[in-house]
A and B are shown apart, each in its own frame.
Chain A
Amino acid sequence: MREEMNMNDAKKGPDRLNITRKARNIITRVDQEKYFGLQINNTSRSELILFMMALGISAKTPTRLENTYPEALILENSITSRTISFMYALFIGILEDEDIDKITQKELVYDMAQQYANTGFEILEDEMNKMTDKKLMWNVIQELDNKYDELFPD
């Protein structure tokens, strides 16, 4: 299935996920400090960008990429099916009542994923400057508790 998609998509557009230069510096810092277990030998780049997308969703704001880093963060072949699934879920979620067939427009899907991930990187940098990962952990737990209560009020 994935090969078929890839063969079709190869004719149609993006084959990588990009990030800004700023995001690249943040990633370097995360690797060095082993912040929140997000460093490369513990969390794949695919999982990292997925987590960044989720952070972006929590802020509900996409951020356009400016000053893009010349090298992609990850090529399509390395993106896990889990991450790809969430990229499409994100796009469908944003679609409102528009034509579902729009999800076949790969460049739109990738672009949206990149923008939300970009927001996520900004949030991460802010947190890294304010507190240790162990302290951040307790803040994240508090936020997730609130989100859980919101989703499952009973």
Chain B
Amino acid sequence: MRFSRIDIKNYRQYKELSFNFSNNGKHDLHIIVADNGIGKTNLLNAITWCLYNEEPHLGSTSNSLTKLNTKVREEHLAAQQPNATVRVTLYAEDGADKLIFQRKMNVKVKSNFEEKSELIIKKINKAMPDARILSGEDAAVFVDRYMPRRLKKYFYFDGEQLDRYFISEKNLDIKQSVHTISQVETLTRVKNNLNNIIKTRRMEAAKHSPDIQGIIGDIDNLDSNIHDLTKAIQNIESEIQKSQSVIKLNTERLSGQPDINKLQNEQRRLLDKKIRLELEEQNAYNELFSFLERMNVSLYFYDYAKKVLAIIKEKRDQNALPPNVDKSMLKAILKDNNKVCPICGQYLTDDAISYIETVLSKIKVSSETSNLLMFICNEMEATIESAKSYKNNKDKKIRVLSNVQKDLEQCGNDLQKVSDDIGGIADANQLKQWYDEIKRHQGILGINQQKIAGKKIALSNETNKMKILEDKRDKAIEQQQELKKINSQIVFLKKAIDIIESVEKEMMDEVRKEMEISTMNYFNDLMWKKGVYNHISLDDDYRLELYHNNGDSCLGSCSAAERSLLALAFTLALHEVSGFDALLFIDTPVARVSGENRQNFANVLKKVSEHKQLIMAFTPDEYSSNISDIFTPIAADMPVRLKMNQTNDITSI
């Protein structure tokens, strides 16, 4: 099937626009060129909206806008028209049949409320005068037959969304898609129908025997459990595969890169250590300051302390310290004109006075002086000792400071080195992201592996029980004479299912092998690096792996450009191997491919367009001479160039 025309009305940037895709019989190739933001991707969205009521390629700007063109809305508001219609019509040809797919949607202009859209399909055949019209569920089923929804990303290829193409949660999608596209699905449907027939036969058998009915009831319950467990296991397996893929991909990306997490942890540790050491250094300085203040006093007062202690010793030797006579009292007695003894109250004789004068001359120190000297004596003795200890204590304290400063200097150097290492990493944030992704998925993986182990044990138990019950059931059926016929039918059907399953597997294996070869061939043709990659492999779950000539798997270390070409190669292989006759619409196909490498790309697609309709949307930069020199001469129409009006709300040709 090929598209011959697309009409778009009031949809996003498109007010009223038609694209015609003629067929020159040689190369069914059509080119659209437009700057970013003009509407290339929304053309793709228009097609998927028409067919599937989905817009999987919306950018952030479009996401916030409704489908109705803003200019049209303004015009309707001004003209007080309450409703506007958004409509996309696809005209297609399938042999002698002409098909018209049209989706319409009414929009309440004032509130921008979008009513439910409706798809109508008209099928016109020259042999039949009346067109066949399908709508609703019938239309959806019809679309799914020609362009299955599950496979839409293989018809409409967004060149900018490729980085995650091979993340494994998509594997099962790919497997199911291949299942559909290679018509193996038909066999699966037959197998399911046969299983249903077997079920019916058994239920019939059960009617004849209540025992069998009971067993079948148990089997049904078990079957439901097994189904739930199987589904749960599949889901967990998918999660496990995804985690393993992410871990593998990021590990390959990080191979040879510095461990940014380790470096940052080390940096934090060293910063903490530096702060702690700086505090220790300040404490060591404070200790030294206090010490030097005390020592300054001890050393500069040393001589004074010695003099004081010498005086005290001298006075002690003279028995003048402590004084046993109160010098001041004796002086007071002599001064007193009455000459009376203050103790006994008697008048003092001349002899007595003379005696007092003699004693007074002998007393050298007053009691107050004596008290003062005794008061300061201990401090002076301590000062002498302190001064003597200066050198030892000083050395100890300086050593403490010196050690801390050495540690601080070393810490500073280590910190500088780590900071330089981190600074030297080209994209530290990206590396950190990859590390964090690995760690996160390792956690998830651990949990899922535990979960799945439990589920598998449970499944094994239920399966064993099932086998026992099935044997019991079959024996019960065998034993009943009247059930012999039903039994032989069941046996026959089982054999048929076995055959179908082995054919199914063979077909899938064959398709898989053809896909591997075809993908590799396309990839080699597209790639600028020749002779580097050896082969690709698809495992049973359609996980793609690319192998270098040296035998190593290397998908994770491919550049974005190589991955996008691989994804394109895979898609082309899928179309080729399946024989599915559908167009391929590629939006910004060479977003990540530069310069001369685009020539390979153009040559490969030139060949593809000989047997398949290709519609490609480029930016002007992408549609460089390496591509346009090859495409423009062979294209079925002149390249369509889109432009935006001055108010940036309408795209036209």
Contact = CB atoms under 8 A, between A and B. Distances in A.
B297 A54 contact: yes
A90 to B, nearest CB: 6
B297 A140 contact: no
Report whether over half of chain A's contact residues are helix, strand or loop; otherwise say mixed: helix
Nearest to A48: B293
B387 interface: yes
A104 B366 contact: yes
Contacts of A37: 285-286, 289-290, 293
B365 interface: yes
B458 interface: no
Given A54-B296, A104-B372, A81 B379 contact: yes
B301 interface: yes
B368 A8 contact: yes
Contacts of A50: 297
A100 B285 contact: no
Given A85-B376, A137-B285, A137-B289, A104 B297 contact: no
B300 A147 contact: yes
Interface in B350-397: 364-366, 368-369, 371-373, 375-376, 379-380, 387-388, 390-391, 394
A43 B294 CA distance: 11
A89 B305 contact: yes
B143 interface: no
A51 interface: yes
A57 B301 contact: yes
B376 A1 contact: no
Contact of B371 (A1, A55, A89, A90): A1
A36 interface: yes
Contacts of B288: 137
B326 to A, nearest CB: 14
Contacts of A101: 365-366, 368-369
Nearest to B368: A104
B295 interface: yes
B500 interface: no
Nearest to A88: B376
B372 A140 contact: no
Given A5-B372, A5-B375, A100-B365, A93 B304 contact: yes
B296 A51 contact: yes
A152 B388 CA distance: 8
A118 to B, nearest CB: 16
A55 B372 contact: no
Interface in A43-58: 43, 47, 50-51, 53-55, 57-58
Given A57-B301, A141-B394, A133 B289 contact: yes
A5 B371 contact: yes
Nearest to A100: B369
B402 to A, nearest CB: 12
A144 interface: yes
A50 B308 CA distance: 17
B296 A42 contact: no
A137 B288 CA distance: 8
A40 interface: no
Contacts of B303: 93, 151
For chain A, the bracket of interface size reads 35 or more
A55 B296 contact: yes
Contacts of A90: 301, 304
A134 interface: yes
Contacts of B296: 51, 54-55, 58, 140, 144
Contacts of B300: 54-55, 57-58, 147
Interface in A4-44: 4-5, 8, 36-38, 42-43
Given A36-B289, A57-B300, A144 B379 contact: no
Contacts of A84: 375-376
B292 A140 contact: yes
Contacts of B197: none
A137 B292 contact: yes
B141 interface: no
Interface string B303-314: 111011001000
Contact of B292 (A2, A8, A141): A141
Contacts of B166: none
Contacts of A47: 293
Contacts of B376: 84-85, 88-89
B379 A51 contact: no
A75 interface: no
A82 interface: yes
A84 B372 CA distance: 10
A119 to B, nearest CB: 12
Nearest to A5: B371
B311 A86 contact: no
A108 to B, nearest CB: 13
A125 to B, nearest CB: 17
Contacts of B369: 100-101, 103-104
A79 interface: no
Contacts of B380: 85, 89
B302 interface: yes
Interface of B: 285-286, 288-290, 292-293, 295-297, 299-305, 307-308, 311, 364-366, 368-369, 371-373, 375-376, 379-380, 387-388, 390-391, 394, 398
- Which 6 A-B pairs have CB atoms at the shortest separation, nearest pair first? A93-B304, A37-B289, A85-B379, A85-B376, A89-B304, A54-B300
23 contacts: A4-B371, A36-B289, A37-B290, A43-B293, A47-B293, A51-B293, A51-B296, A54-B300, A54-B301, A58-B300, A85-B379, A86-B301, A88-B375, A89-B304, A100-B311, A100-B369, A103-B372, A103-B373, A141-B394, A144-B394, A151-B302, A151-B303, A152-B388
Given A101-B369, A151-B299, A152-B388, 9 more contacts: A51-B296, A84-B376, A89-B301, A89-B376, A89-B380, A100-B364, A104-B366, A137-B288, A144-B295
